[in-house]
Every structure is written in structure tokens, then in C-alpha cells.
Amino acid sequence: MNGFKFIDSHTHLLPGMDDGAKNVKESEQMVLSLREQGIEEVFLTSHYYSHREAVDKFLQRRKRSFRLLKPVLEHYSMKHRLGAEVYAVPAIFNYTNLDDLCIDGTDLLLLEMSSPKSEPEHVIKLVKEIYSRYSVEVLLAHIDRYPFMMRRKIFKQFVDLGVHMQLNLDFLDADYLTRQKCLKYIRQGHVQFLGTDCHRMTGKRRPEVEKYRSQLTARLTPEELSNIY
């Protein structure tokens, strides 16, 4: 295991919250796997859909789920921050305050665009509206999934808005253009967070870190990786 350490900024470890870990046993397996691969801190970012569930109800469910997971996190000395992966739809504007959905101790709101085929103009408009209404900073989830984020002019519009960027580690398995663009964004300092986006212990959504860490350190210098938390 090489020395490049980073926060797993995107996980679905909280049991029974969404399409991630089904129960505490599966959560524990995932936490152990992450620790064995050198991850020391995770953001707990369960899906939140404002058009389906009130914020208060989501927070109550999250509190109950976290109560089950907390002893596991403490047992494995895994630092953690509660948050949410907030679906980018206009229904979020039904709420006067989004602070409790931000990553604990920060003003970062992890925002998931509604579809890889989303119209970038609509997303930009929504982000601008978020900034005008709330005292939060937008962190765009897994930008590697969205073809329009690989287009320089559109990507620059998000950068100019002050949006923070998160990549899923498996961008390194994507097509050549996406892979090279994402590496370029890291080199330019536009990406602040990496994540496994782990949902379960099997298949493509498992907590895979080490093989991607090795690829990153082979392709990028320590200086180029220095903007990653």
C-alpha cells in the first residue's frame, strides 16, 4: 500500500438507508475492507430525494441508522462525517435550510445531478439558485459520469461558479477520453475529493481502493494529488 491517503468522500455505508448496505453486517464488512485498504475517514452520504421525502424524516432515519453503525466505526477507528447525496431537483427549494444535509463540520452539499443526460444549462441554473438561497458550497458528485462535464466550456462554467468536484475512483475504468479528462482536472487542481461510492461488498459497487490508488500514484505526482482531501 502506497502513501497517498485521502478521505472516501462518497459512501453508502449507513445500513438500511438506501440502495447501499442492507444491514449492519454488510456495513461492517465494507468498513473493514476500507480500513484494510488504508482509508481512515469516510463521508456517510446516503441518497436524499427531496421530491419523495421531507428533510426531517430523512434526518430521523439517518439518525437511527447511524446509531447502529457508530459502534462499528469506532471499533475500526474509522473517522466519519454524516452527510447526504442530494438529488438535484427543484423540490429542494421547498426547504429554507439545507445545512443539516451538508457534510458535518462543513458547508459542502454533495449534489447528484439527476441523469447523465441532464441538460447542463438546467444544472447550472439550479446550482446558481442554490447559491442565491442558501449558505452552502456545492460539491458535485461523481462528475466522471456526465459526458457534458468532459466539455471544456461547460466544465469551466461550473469552476467559475466555485463548485467543488468529486470523482469516483472507477473513472480510471472509463473510456480513454473520460479518463484523460479527469486526470487533467486533478492535475489542474479542480478536483478536491475522491470516493468509492461503495454500496455493497460484491460487484462494481464494492469498496475498491487499492488498485485505483496505485494507478493514480503511477500517473500523477504528489504535487498533482495535493489538492485531494
Instruction: Report pLDDT digits (tens) over 96-140.
Output: 999 999 999 999 999 999 876 778 999 999 999 999 999 999 999
pLDDT of residue 204: 87
Please provide the distance, in angstroms rounded to a whole number, between the alpha carbons at the two ends of the chain.
18
Q: Tell me the pLDDT tens digit for each residue of 40-64.
A: 999 999 999 999 999 999 999 999 9
List C-alpha distances in Å: 193 to 9, 65, 91, 111, 133. Answer: 6, 25, 26, 13, 25
Q: Which pLDDT score is estimated for 116?
A: 67
- Rounded mean pLDDT of 211-224? 96
Scan for cell 441508522, then name that residue. 65
For residue 2, pLDDT beyond 80: no
List of residues 6+ apart from 120 with CB closer than 8 A: 148, 154, 157
The band of 80, judged by pLDDT with boundaries at 50, 70 and 90, is very high
Pairing of strands 85-87, 79-82: unpaired
List domains and CATH numbers for the chain. Answer: 8-219 (3.20.20.140)
161-177 confidence digits (pLDDT tens): 999 999 999 999 999 99
Closest CA to 48 of 8, 95, 1, 105: 95
Please give the average per-residue pLDDT across 84-95, as a whole number: 97
pLDDT band at 1 (very low <50, low <70, confident <90, very high): low
Q: For residues 94 and 69, is the Cβ–Cβ distance under 8 A?
A: no
Mean pLDDT of 78-84: 99
Look at residue 173 in the predicted model and tell me its pLDDT. Answer: 97
Which pLDDT belongs to residue 48? 99
DSSP per residue over 156-215, as a string?
A: HHHHHTT-EEEEEGGGGGS-HHHHHHHHHHHHTT---EEE--B--SSGGGS---HHHHHH
Q: How far apart are CA 3 and CA 105, in angstroms?
A: 26
